């Protein structure tokens, strides 16, 4: 498919689209990071070389390759190199503890690990206890140059320096795995979601086929300058880049999101499109000195990955001066499944409370507990049918079968459809807490709280938060005669969990509300804690 003209096609692979961009727009800037520019020709050439270096290290079709580091042009180069080697990239959340990283490396069976200098200590701690089960090859991405100056990517460049530049031929197709992202479940055990090449082409191809209606969804254009705001270790950040790659757009990379830097980059590089969590919108709007002129280059902002308040939505409509589109998706969905299009973003519109309607090529249905389809206005479980969906959970066929049934992805959310097919969400069936786009699973936090000698029982829930969408709160029942201060619990969890998973408030209850079968009634806990928070003086 190298050199094919026109828009994205559902049968493409990441290798094919990378080759096409190099052939048709090789001099065009593909990536900008910390003012370093990488052209599409350079991206293609260097990812070819890195793929050959992987092959020389014994990495082949289906091998897992882990990446522990912040976003940079070298991360996206590595993603494409894995695709060209026939391997599967396993991005690791750099906020995780050593124990959490160790589980991902062990479960995935990663044979090769790329690691930033910044996270070398975490990698060393993991590998020192891994024994024969850890990656057999570790590549340090960075190096120290003359005078002790940090040189980002120097270690990676040195690793593939002698490799050939020609295109590899791994024999992979659109249905082969290329990405494995870890997302926890209600058991608290992270599961690897396996994603195929086809995932990143189905939506752009469907939107292109929609013709004139395509612009009222999420569209990517060859002349776009796209700001990657969300981290690349998740499907949102990485998927945003790969969808833009289909169009041959320019991507501005933030190693870590900071609102002031995001505003600066939008102005400096005339960013036209971006995808953010609502908390990021709030932080940009709260930056000192911002005006509508600060965002004059933007034509479209996609937002999602967390609840948004109506007040923030109104403020965004007034300040940004561009089209807004809301996204509803999941790692398992692979790509955008539902979108509230720009045409629905009108002040006062009842549709502003909707998640949106099915994107081209996708379908939605609401089912009851028996799996029967429900009618408009009836609340049940949200199910999505999308060609972008995951291949399955890594080595977990039972969990895969539970989530995927008859081609439908069961999203774990409760909601209803109106007469026009717009989806309205009511609650999350699986109790996931979402803080600034990051998924947090109560069982994982509760397990660690239960290790504290003073805690007899615990329930962790999300409480609405104006800035972050939700905040993590813990309700604890203490053992007889025990006393503990909230700060003690917070310090106890540090090092056991990533910082963003640690509850920010702790409430001591006499008992947790449970149903007759003993299951915690999380909605009742949320309501009680929200009431307590409202009653507490600021």
3-state secondary structure of 260: helix
* Token pair 């086929």 in the structure block, residue: 209
Residue 186: per-residue pLDDT:
46
281 C-beta neighbours (distance < 10 Å), count:
22
Provide the token pair at 448. Answer: 């660690």
Give the residue among 182, 185, 186, 285 at the shortest CA–CA distance from 238: 182
Contact 53, 47 (CB under 8 A): no
Strands 191-196 and 225-228, sheet pairing = unpaired
pLDDT band for position 259 (cuts 50, 70, 90): very high
Strands 64-68 and 88-92, sheet pairing = parallel
Q: What pTM did the predictor assign?
A: 0.86
3-state secondary structure of 180: strand
Q: What DSSP assignment string belongs to 381-426? A: EEEEE-TT--SEETT-HHHHHHHEETTEEEEEEEEEE-TT--EEEE
* Predicted confidence (pLDDT) at residue 4 exceeds the cutoff of 60: no
| Rounded Cα–Cα distance for residues 495 and 513 (Å) | 29
In this prediction, what percent of the chain has a pLDDT beyond 70? 93
* Token pair 């070819």 in the structure block, residue: 48
Give the residue among 431, 428, 438, 446 at the shortest CA–CA distance from 499: 438
CATH of domain 433-535: 3.30.300.30
pLDDT band for position 90 (cuts 50, 70, 90): very high
Q: Which of 61-65, 73-77, 173-177, 303-307 has the lowest mean pLDDT?
A: 303-307
> What is each CA distance from 344 to 299, 337, 341, in whole angstroms?
16, 17, 6
Q: Give the phi and the psi of residue 430 in degrees, each rounded to 5.
A: -95, 5
| Rounded Cα–Cα distance for residues 176 and 418 (Å) | 37
Q: Residue 484 burial (CB < 10 Å; 0-12/13-18/19+)?
A: middle
Please work out, in degrees rounded to the nearest 5, the angle formed at the alpha carbon of residue 408 by the alpha carbons of 407 and 413: 165
Give the residue among 468, 200, 233, 174 at the shortest CA–CA distance from 336: 200
* Predicted confidence (pLDDT) at residue 3 exceeds the cutoff of 50: no
| Rounded Cα–Cα distance for residues 378 and 368 (Å) | 9
Helix, strand, coil percentages for the chain (3-state, nearest 5): 35, 25, 40
**DSSP conformational letter for 343:** G
33: β partners: 36, 253
Residue 2: per-residue pLDDT:
35
pLDDT band for position 442 (cuts 50, 70, 90): confident
């Amino acid at each position: 498919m190298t050199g094919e003209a026109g828009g994205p096609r559902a049968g493409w692979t990441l290798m094919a689209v990378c080759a096409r961009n190099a052939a048709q727009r090789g001099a065009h800037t593909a990536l900008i990071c910390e003012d370093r520019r990488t052209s599409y020709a350079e991206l293609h050439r260097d990812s070819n070389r890195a793929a050959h270096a992987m092959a020389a290290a014994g990495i082949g079709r289906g091998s897992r390759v882990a990446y522990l580091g912040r976003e940079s042009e070298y991360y996206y180069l590595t993603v494409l190199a894995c695709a060209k080697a026939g391997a599967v990239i396993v991005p690791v959340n750099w906020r995780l503890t050593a124990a959490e990283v160790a589980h991902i490396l062990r479960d995935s069976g990663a044979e090769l690990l790329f690691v930033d200098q910044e996270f070398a200590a975490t990698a060393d701690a993991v590998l020192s206890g891994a024994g024969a089960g850890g990656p057999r090859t570790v590549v340090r991405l960075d190096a120290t140059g003359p005078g002790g100056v940090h040189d980002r990517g120097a270690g990676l460049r040195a690793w593939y320096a002698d490799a050939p530049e020609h295109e590899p031929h791994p024999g992979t197709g659109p249905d082969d795995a290329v990405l494995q992202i870890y997302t926890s479940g209600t058991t608290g055990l992270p599961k690897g979601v396996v994603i195929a090449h086809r995932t990143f082409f189905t939506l752009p191809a469907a939107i292109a086929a929609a013709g004139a209606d395509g612009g009222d969804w999420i569209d990517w254009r060859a002349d776009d300058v796209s700001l990657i705001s969300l981290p690349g270790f998740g499907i949102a950040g990485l998927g945003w880049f790969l969808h833009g790659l289909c169009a041959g757009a320019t991507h501005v990379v933030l190693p870590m999101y900071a609102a002031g830097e995001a505003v600066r980059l939008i102005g400096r590089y005339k960013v036209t499109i971006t995808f953010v969590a609502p908390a990021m919108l709030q932080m940009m709007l709260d930056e000192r000195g911002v005006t509508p002129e600060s965002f004059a280059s933007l034509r479209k902002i996609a937002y999602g990955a967390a609840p948004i308040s109506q007040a923030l939505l109104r403020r965004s409509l007034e300040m940004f001066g561009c089209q807004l589109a809301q996204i509803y998706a999941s790692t398992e969905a692979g790509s955008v499944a539902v979108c509230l299009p720009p045409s629905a973003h009108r002040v006062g519109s009842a549709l502003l409370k909707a998640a949106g309607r099915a994107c081209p090529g996708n379908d939605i249905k609401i089912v009851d507990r028996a799996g029967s389809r429900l009618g408009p206005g009836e609340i049940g479980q949200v199910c999505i049918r999308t060609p972008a969906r995951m291949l399955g959970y890594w080595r977990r066929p039972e969990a895969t079968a539970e989530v995927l049934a008859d081609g439908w992805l069961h999203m774990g959310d409760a909601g209803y459809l109106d007469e026009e097919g717009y989806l309205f969400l009511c609650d999350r069936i699986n109790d996931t807490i979402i803080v600034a786009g990051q998924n947090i699973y109560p069982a994982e936090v509760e397990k660690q709280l239960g290790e504290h000698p003073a805690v007899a029982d615990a329930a962790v829930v999300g409480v609405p938060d104006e800035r972050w969408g939700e905040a993590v709160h813990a309700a604890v029942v203490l053992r007889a005669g025990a006393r503990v201060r909230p700060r003690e619990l917070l310090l106890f969890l540090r090092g056991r969990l990533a910082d963003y998973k640690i509850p920010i408030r702790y409430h001591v209850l006499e008992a947790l509300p449970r149903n007759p079968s003993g299951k915690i009634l999380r909605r009742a806990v949320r309501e009680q804690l929200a009431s307590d928070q409202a009653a507490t003086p600021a």
